[in-house]
Structure 1
Amino acid sequence: MRIFAMALLAFVSITVAAQKDTLKFRVSLTDKAATTYSLSKPQEFLSAKALARRARQQLSVDSTDLPVCARYVEAIRKQGVRIVVTGKWDNFVTVSCNDSSRMARISRLPFVRSVEKVWQQLTRTNKDKALKRDSITDKVVRVDSLYYGKSYRQIQMSKADKLHEAGFRGKGMTIAVIDAGFHNADRIKAMQNIHIVGVKDFVNSSCDIYAESSHGMKVLSCMGMNQPYVMVGTAPEADYWLLRSEDEYSENLVEQDYWAAAIEFADSVGVDLVNTSLGYYAFDDQSKNYEYRNLNGQYA
């Protein structure tokens, strides 16, 4: 019985591993003709905060703001693929699967303009998420002679102290930080008074955004920290959305799709500013690398 149980466990493990998608494709669409939304009712797809910001900045709502057609998304899903993200501004759907032949069927759908491979798992052992967090020392270091503490040089360089003196400390502003992860930002005591209104992972929804890369945590600290004589950031009274679009374990075109989904989400919830220290030009698949002539604002 024990041998049978072990064999069954091994079989289940192999089956689960076999089911893991190894390919991702961007499916670009021709139109939004089948949309159920209307530009006359933008409140159905944009938040009140987003619409208020649009009105304040005199930015009109247009067809690019309409969500990707749900009917098209469902028709693509029925071809046996998993929907990863959608992008309404460029009108695309990113999908994952194990069988590239399914993409041939998808490419023949009447509303599909093009299909491009944007990610491929290179090895079975590719890491795709953090397995554990680092331990925290949580030793607070005071700099009694400097109100801004460890951020003094940064604040002086950007003249942010002058903005603070004039009353501009971020109050009433919502900032989205789009990055690779925010390691332990929820556990570091000195960061607990940063007002985080929400988090969202566009790379892998099963990941713990606070277990991934520490880069976003460091960026957040430079803006949101509010511990006088320890560290005070540039916008200590702002509200923050923490969004993950960068996959630190590989470099592939699909990360641009994640980023597009993240920036669209940030716009839809009405953020005022976005901080995203990410850029792409070289990839694991070198045939996808951008050359200088590609960097024209249209192609890349």
Structure 2
Amino acid sequence: MKYYRQIAFLFLLVFVSVSMATSKSSPSLRDFKGDSAKVWVFFTDKDTGGKSLSDAARRSLSERAIERRRKAGIPLEIADAPVNDSYIEQVEALGGRLLRKSRWLNGASFMLPSGLLEPVSALPSVKEIRPVGKYRRPIEPRGRHIPDAPPHDGDYGATLDQLELMGAIHLHDLGYTGEGVLVGFLDSGFRLTHRAFDSLDVVAKYDFIYNDTTVDYDSLAGDHDRTGYRHGTQTLGCVAGYSPGEYMGAAYRASVALAKTEDVDSEYVTEEDNWVAGIEWLDSVGADIISSSLGYADFEEDTPYTIDDLDGNTFIVTIAADIAARLGICVVNSAGNERGGSWGTLVAPSDGDSVLAVAAVGLDHIIAPFSSPGPSADGRIKPDCAALGYGAVLIDAEDTMGVVPYGCGTSFSCPLLAGLCAAVKSANPELYGYDLALAVRRSGDRYRAFDPAYPADSADNDYGWGIPKGPVAAGLYKGFYGRVIDAKNGEPLCGVMVNLDYGAGSRTVYSDTFGIFVDPLAEEGDPVVIAVPGFYIEDGLSVDGYGHAVFLERLGSAASIQVFPNPVSDSLTIVVYDSDRARFSVYSMDGNLVFDKTFAFVSSKRFRWDLCNQAGKPVANGVYLIRIAADDEEIIRKIAVIR
């Protein structure tokens, strides 16, 4: 009887062990039929071997990385400690071949014969096994786009427009060029023979495909892709290129660290463990900002990811990117070129809630026809912001000089934005991680809503919060944000010259396709007078960091109605020349009707509003919209009541 009880007990143990092992494997592995599988093995805990967390973490981090954490006020944590080597050895002892370790994820990627999946799952140290994600390619450039405007000459050469769009040149003029900032790159390779890289400060470089320090084409290592360096070379130039009169990057004095993580040959798949290894390595060398013009979609059949997993918490690369942001790194990633394609939306890790996802626009500020739209699967606005990626000027990776005009892709808007982040950080060394990303995002030309009735000037899932402005992101200026509108028909005035007079000086900017204009050098509190050719001037405004909807009356057609004074403290006078009656309406800025009356004129063409509401009580100080309709003419104007 005892003998049978022992057999039953042993059978129960085996049954429980197999059941637990099976439950540790992802569903796609339970029915796996191949000879071997590339998998992630995640472990239950870390053992620092009796060492303090600080001592264990120092095995993984450079002094520069530790100093970055100290300055950012981010303490070392268990994610910094290396993976327990004894756990790795247990898997290797069973026959697994180690590929990559991840201290952040507390795991490692292995090549496992299919017969080892259950034995490895049964190890007490193993928490979970899941396949390594396999994707078809990095984000590809999307041909050429020739803008209407010709390239500019001067020190910036043909790159002036793409930098001026973000206000980067203003930062350079103030001496903020990325000096002292380390920008890390995750890409397909880098060739450094172009003269724009002659003064480049390369702190570190590593090839995660062939496990050496050659990031260019390397035939001795078996590199099969002779031109894989093109993509990375051009993204690097967007940040750190320096060839006055020919090509200038957005942060041309920044230092760089280069990680070759992707194989761009179309016959090969890209696997996520190299990207994770690359971003952890960039953390270890002390990167402040990471530019990743790579994204993951179009998965192989054995990779269990779907669009629904773009929730900021599921993709391995997204989890790693968010950890990097938590540890004080500003992570900038391309939103993707999937608009209109089978995938049709963001690519990972741009779905991360702490990742600055970058869309592509043209010089006309219109979203590129390929730029991936959001939102994330959990409904967050994505992408976060936009930069030039439809007609960008790039370094010629096949030559030692020269440029390639009209490059297209979020692959290039991403490093331009990362370069702006570096220039902003050189002006604000105390900004780290997501705080730096937020400062840049909040300077976007769609961050300030100008008119609730006009959604095109608010954040959305095409543009995010719009095109950032460097001087505002750096906190050097408040910036003046506005949208000019024809008061006659309510339509935005697109592509017009906007003259801004601040009393002590004036500047001229141009409105974009949505009528939006930004002067990133405006000082807070400055009074401003706005003049657009063909329209009456608008005064009474001041720079306050908010968005202003500026309704302008056309000369001639709108001259028959005049309103004054503005600001008003006693009563508002309205003159209507060419009509016998007019309807006068006053609205609060949140759209509520305050006063409404129709005036009939007998002898005088003038009437006055005594600043009282419909009930006869004085209105509060503040800004109001007034509407005056007379026959077939109508004006809308913003007034300020100040007593």
Which whole-Å deviations, capped at 9, do the CAs of 1:113-152 have from their partners, x for residues lacking one?
A: 12222268xxxxxxxxxxxxxxxxxxxxxx9932111321
Identity, % of aligned pairs? 29
Instruction: Tell me: higher relative CO, structure 1 or 2? Use CA pairs within 8 A at least 6 residues apart.
Output: 1
Matches of 1:226 and 1:36, distance apart in 2: 49
Distance 1:206 1:47, change over 3 A: closer
Amino acid at match of 2:188: A
AA matched with 1:214: R
Q: 1:109 aligns with which of 123, 141, 144?
A: 123
SS at match of 1:24: strand
Does 2:98 align with 1:90?
no
Structure 2 unaligned blocks of 5 or more: 1-34, 135-150, 218-227, 316-643
The answer to whether 1:146 aligns with 2:161 is no
Distance 1:36 1:178, change over 3 A: farther
Task: Name the TM-score, length of structure 2 as normaliser.
Answer: 0.37
In the alignment, is residue 227 of structure 1 matched against residue 243 of structure 2? Answer: yes
2:258 is matched with which residue: 242, 245, 268? Answer: 242
The alpha carbon displacement at 1:186 in A equals: 2.7
CA RMSD of superposed structures (Å): 2.6
Q: Which has the larger radius of gyration?
A: 2
Partner of 1:12: none
User: TM-score, normalized by length of structure 1?
Assistant: 0.76
Counterpart secondary structure, 2:287: coil
Q: C-alpha separation between the residues in 1 aligned to 2:51 and 2:298?
A: 38
- Does 2:32 match 1:26? no
- Which letter maps to 2:121? S
Distance, in Å, in 1 between the alignment partners of 2:239 and 2:133 is 33
Asked if structure 2 preserves the Cα contact closer than 8 Å seen for 1:36 and 1:69, the reply is no
Decide which of 190, 200, 204 is 2:196's aligned counterpart.
190
SS at 2:132's partner residue? Answer: strand
Match of 1:298 in 2: 313
Provide Cα deviations, 1:3-25, integer angstroms capped at 9, x if missing partner: xxxxxxxxxxxxxxxxxx96411
Check 1:49–1:26 CA distance in 2 against 1; reply closer, same or farther (3 A cut).
same
What amino acid is aligned across from residue 215 of structure 1 in structure 2?
A: H
Aligned letter for 2:253?
E
Structure 1 residues 204 and 116, CA gap change in structure 2 (3 angstroms) = farther
**Shift in CA distance, 56/206, structure 1 to aligned 2, threshold 3 Å:** closer
**TM-aligned CA deviation for residue 206 of structure 1:** 5.7
CA contact (8 A) 2:132 2:303 kept: no
Assess if the C-alpha contact under 8 Å between 2:188 and 2:232 holds in 1. yes
CA distance in 1, matches of 2:302, 2:120: 26
Give per-residue Cα distances to partners, 1:233-267, cap 9 Å, x unaligned.
11111111010222324445x32x22222111111
Is 2:72 aligned against 1:57?
Answer: yes
Show the counterpart of 2:86: 71
Residue aligned with 2:98, SS: strand
The structure richer in strand per residue is: 2
Q: For structure 1, list consecutive stretches of 5 or more residues without a partner in the other structure.
A: 1-20, 121-142
Q: Does the C-alpha gap of structure 1 residues 155 and 271 become closer, same or farther in structure 2, counting only changes over 3 Å?
A: same
- Give the distance between the partners of 2:287 and 2:130, measured in 1 at CA: 31
CA distance in 1, matches of 2:255, 2:213: 23
* Count of residues paired in the alignment: 254
Counterpart secondary structure, 1:203: coil
The separation in 1 between residues aligned to 2:81 and 2:53, in whole angstroms, is 7
Indicate the structure with greater helix content. 1
Residue number in structure 2 paired with 1:123: none
Change (3 A) 1:54 1:207: closer
Matching of residue 158 in structure 1 with residue 166 in structure 2: yes
CA contact (8 A) 1:37 1:66 kept: no
Is the Cα–Cα contact under 8 Å of residues 144 and 229 in structure 1 kept in the other structure?
no
The amino acid of 2:231's aligned partner reads: H
| Alignment correspondent of 1:135 | none
Find the counterpart in structure 2 of residue 170 from structure 1: 178
Q: What amino acid is aligned across from residue 290 of structure 1 in structure 2?
A: T
Q: Structure 1 pair 73/64, CA: closer, same or farther in 2 (3 Å)? A: same
What displacement does 1:203 show? 3.0
